[in-house]
Structure 1
């Protein structure tokens, strides 16, 4: 089993969870989705992230979908699993299950109750006591968690907890945070920095020293190409491609309907069979669908002009 390390880079796509209209798992679409992600160049997958509707699954369902995805991936790329939970016992149980099934590591977001740097460091220290030597991704997403992780607190976590191998950077604005963490000698070791927020700032994040993305978008090939061209020193080409997708990426970032937009677009592309969200979760109205379709048409036009 390949374990996640500080060298992780590229695009770790946050996988959606395909559902049937009745709320059951659509495992056929799950297989097609995994194959698609790998075909467009994903270097890893992240399952049970916040956009994977993990909060709507039982622990048994979580294990089922993770096990199914791991079997489909068959070791071709690392798979990270979100294990954030209200209590450490549940976190430890899910971590043990997914690691036994072949996951490369886990991702942990802080609970919203944390307020001070000392509380944040103590929380992750206790979490590591439960998940033991499993490599983990530190999820910094204050827009959702409400927890503000300062640069010094990330430094303390990296110094104190060697199993912290990756930062999922989703602060907004947060470009200066990347620069600070990448300053020579600031961290006691270099860790991977993979960025979120639907890739909305990916060209700038790569220029600041990020290693890639760990997020979702209905067109993950955009993120793959932006990272590839950025790594090759072709920043203008990366920006041109990014600009072609930006209107739809921006539209998909709307709180409340973003996942519905992503699933609708993925269904339209034939990646999944249904745009269904498990309840609670609303679909899109006709006006919204028309707007998404228009953005897709304009995106396709712009890509033809670029190529």
Structure 2
């Protein structure tokens, strides 16, 4: 697994009957691949993992693996409450054809540092799949500290971190302590360019679901040292990127997908489609950004 580049945390598409909409999902997936993304992450926060059945997760992984056809790795998120359930899902992910796992700490129970480390180790030791730890204490209330990463370093297949603490200095702290032992993936859209400049290896992105070309362009331009060009796009992008740090990020990003014909607004309850003044406000923001969408340089020609 090469934890590097842009990995979209893709949304899960639903039809009017609340069933998985594979046709619409594939349309978005192919657009992501054409834009030049480097991996696909299924069943994350944006993927509405908490309301997907095990059967639906399996169907999504198998469908994506088939459609991607080896062009990029397919990663499944694990967000479980029980260690045995996480181990079972890791085993199934391998059987379904996933190339890697993204893992949150235990759900619902606020485990202490030792319990969290043991949880991650138990899953890591149960699978050969490479693992990226999702470190998001803001939303999930458990921080994976540097000392905890030191304890996890013995598990060779724990290879990366989705850095979502919103503390920019964590990129430097990780590098100072561990060198290149753990790959670092930006996990918060609104500080992604800053993290990349500080040495992060990639970007697990959210607004990429609607704007994959702009996202990949920023990544490649930064890594090529073309900071002014990247910054121009990033400044245009920022009002949209801020949709990623709201509790309704799923609804907001799905609305953006619908406006660029890469998805629909359909969500699974208890989430509800936006309505009224809130929908109009977010719609105005999205449409305003689309109206002044920047012309991109030939980022695909950049060889890193």
- The CA distance in 2 between the partners of 1:68 and 1:289, in whole Å, is 32
Q: Does 1:136 align with 2:131?
A: yes
Q: Do residues 154 (structure 1) and 149 (structure 2) align?
A: yes
Change (3 A) 1:144 1:304: closer
2:32 pairs with 1:37: yes
Aligned length: 294
Mapped pair 1:165 → 2:134: no
Match of 2:257 in 1: 266
Q: How do 1:107-146 residues align onto structure 2 when only pairs under 5 Å count?
A: 107-111=102-106, 112-129=108-125, 131-146=126-141
Report the CA distance between 1:240 and its aligned residue. Answer: 1.2
Partner of 1:9: 4
1:247-289 deviation line (CA, Å, top 9, x unaligned): 122134321x2211111111221112x3110111111113233
Q: Provide structure 1 residue ranges, at least 5 long, that are not aligned to the other structure.
A: none
The match for 1:73 among 68, 71, 81 is 68
Q: CA–CA distance in 2 between the matches of 1:189 and 1:247?
A: 33
Change (3 A) 1:122 1:251: closer
Tell me how far apart the structure 2 counterparts of residues 85 and 221 of structure 1 sit (CA, whole Å): 32
Q: Point out where structure 2 has 5 or more consecutive residues left out of the alignment.
A: 298-304
1:213 aligns to what SS in structure 2?
Answer: strand
How far, CA to CA, are the matches of 2:288 and 2:56 in structure 1?
39
In 2, Cα distance between equivalents of 1:127 and 1:225:
35
Shift of 1:115: 4.6
Give the alignment of 1:139-288 within 5 angstroms: 139-157=134-152, 159-172=153-166, 174-183=167-176, 186-187=177-178, 189-197=180-188, 199-217=189-207, 218-255=210-247, 257-272=248-263, 274-288=264-278
- Which range is displaced more, 210-219 or 39-48? 210-219
Match of residue 284 from structure 2: 294
Q: Secondary structure at the match of 1:193?
A: strand
- 1:40 Cα deviation (Å)? 1.3
Query: What is the SS of the residue equivalent to 2:293?
Result: helix
Offset, 1:152: 2.1
